Structure 1
Amino acid sequence: MLGEIMTEVFSVSGLFTLLMLLMLQAVLGFDNLLYISIESKRVGEEKAPMVRQWGIGLAVAFRIILLFIIVALFDALAEPLFGFHLTGFFEGEFTFQSLITLAGGAFIIYTAIKEITHLLTVDHIEHSEGGKAKSVMQAITLIVAMNLVFSFDSILSAMAIANVEVANIVSASGEVIDTFKGTVTDCKSALISTPIEGAVGCRPGKDYQVWLMAIAIIVSGIVMALMADAVAEFLKKNRMYEVLGLFILFLVGVLLVTEGAHLAHMKLFTFTIEAMSKSSFYLVIFVLVVTDIISTNYQKRLWRQREAELQAHGESESVVAAVDDEMDRKPPIFTGFRL
């Protein structure tokens, strides 16, 4: 067993697939890391690093367990659990996967809106860590739970990459008796030369490279654990980017909600809800980041111009220093608002 796994991992195709999986985990893991950084600050500065490390460690362990469950029950998870058919108003066939994706996306949207509202209403933002304080167990539980929600998307995407074509040997009733590593044509030839009791034919199938996906999850978990404190510290020192992060988190929630609605084939007033494409998602993120950078630089330029005007009119050094302090204390943030 171990020998087969090592051969699969260290083959040319296996290493290439592993590289693709690691790139996928890096892209899809950003929003997860952002959520972890924001949620961990609820427990205070002293306990936050411990919460991040425990949250990531447990999340990786549960993600690997979830990987094996999804692969084993892939067809069952896609089976409808219940549906609504209010023609002309609301329709949908809900699966376990669609329900988890919808609920997770809705919770992320709620979290982002709550945090943005908090930033707009709190009196002393520079001394605020946002929202209501949580216990260590509550924070770790939320981190692990949301990581599992993110896992559905990343695991299903990984399954689309890490698989090889095989042929399923089936009986007269359509039950899979065995798996043949090769094409359907090769499988039929093998059955002719070496018949298998009860086998009547072969049909296309896929063999998912679970161990490659598990290795990618472990490596990405290690990288997240190493980067979590740095990301949290960066957001703490650059509060203006926290708003940008919250808007990105909001978009992640929208992405998950639309994906869950698409999986459930939801219709509102005869309009079918389509999943937000990944390309559209990343384009919007790119536009947000560029807009934030331009807005920040423009606002700094206005502050410098104001400082120069004060100096030209002979304002005292204390006034100019106050302007500089105001610029540092209230850096510009996304869409022109200032903290």
Structure 2
Amino acid sequence: MYDFGAFTHAATWISLVTLTFMEIVLGIDNIIFISIVVNRLAKESQARGRTIGLLLALLFRIGLLLSISWIVSLRAALFTINLPPLVSNFAVSGRDLILLGGGLFLMYKSTTEIHTKLQGEEDEEGTGGGQATMLAVIAQIIVIDIVFSFDSILTAVGLVDNVLVMIAAVICAMGIMLAFSGTVANFVNKNPTIKMLALSFLIMIGFMLVMEAAHKEIEKGYLYFAMAFSLIVEMLNLRLRKKSKSKPVKLRDSQYD
């Protein structure tokens, strides 16, 4: 499991690149959530909040990788629900409870953020004291980091059987996401429609987590395709609006009899 000699083989490096790419894809939703949550901090604290959030995600994922046997044990049933004819012998595991709690929290948080934007309420930066606000934001980031880390680790286990390769891929992916997190956050915050679209994506992801907790698997490829298609359409709309604003307005000469 901890074979350093595996890095002398080309197949290991191919697995490392593939897993790093997968970690980045799976981590995009985490970046979006962190960017939206830290937006409630004072501007001078937002970069620090994003850094702390991503570093916490890195620590959680490495810690989970080092305890894979515990993660596997979470799939074991804790208790069984039997409510015929609706539910018959439905086994509930620790993983199901984590996914259910994380999915509901993600849906609740995204919905309240959308409500705030639709009501036209401005984010109050630095309210309640910088330290208290930072602690509240970090607490929310920790909850989502735990849920997203499970999804990331389960994907890694399915692709690679060497823990060192998994840890290296997680570190590389987090380094790349940390480098571009500021750019992503600024782009989301400067474009209200993109931010609303991102919140809608988070609701979809939360719903997917709830369905997974109910043992109803949803093909993630369909979800990512819908997200990518919606994002492409919105990018075209942004370009069209920008082009319309830059186009000079021609005034007609008034004609009088």
> TM-score if structure 2 supplies the norm length?
0.87
Using the alignment, how far apart are the partners of 1:105 and 1:313 within structure 2? 59
Is 1:150 the equivalent of 2:131? no
Give the CA deviation at 1:239.
2.4
Question: Partner amino acid for 1:286?
Answer: A
Partner SS, residue 42 of structure 1: coil
Is 1:78 the equivalent of 2:20? no
2:120 aligns to what?
122
Partner SS, residue 208 of structure 2: helix
Deviation string for 1:254-307 (max 9, x for gaps)? Answer: 221112211xxxxxxxxxxx2211111112112312332344456667778995
2:37 aligns to what?
39
1:290 aligns to what?
232
Asked whether the equivalents of residues 49 and 138 of structure 2 are also in contact (C-alpha less than 8 Å), the reply is: yes
Using the alignment, how far apart are the partners of 2:85 and 2:124 within structure 1? 42
**Which aligned segments of 4 or more residues in structure 1 are displaced greater than 6 angstroms?**
300-306
Using the alignment, how far apart are the partners of 1:59 and 1:257 within structure 2? 21
Give the CA deviation at 1:73.
2.4
- Structure having the higher strand fraction is 1
Structure 2: 5+ residue runs without aligned partners?
none
- Which has more radius of gyration? 1
Change (3 A) 1:61 1:304: closer
- Count of matched residue pairs: 249
1:329 aligns to what?
none
% identical aligned pairs: 28
Among 14, 20, 25, the residue aligned to 1:22 = 20
Question: Partner amino acid for 1:39?
Answer: V
1:318 aligns to what?
none
Structure 1: 5+ residue runs without aligned partners?
164-208, 263-273, 315-339
Is 1:259 the equivalent of 2:257? no
- Structure having the higher helix fraction is 2
Change (3 A) 1:9 1:38: same
Q: Aligned-residue CA RMSD in angstroms?
A: 2.6
Deviation string for 1:171-230 (max 9, x for gaps)? Answer: xxxxxxxxxxxxxxxxxxxxxxxxxxxxxxxxxxxxxx1111011111112122212222
Question: Partner amino acid for 2:232?
Answer: V
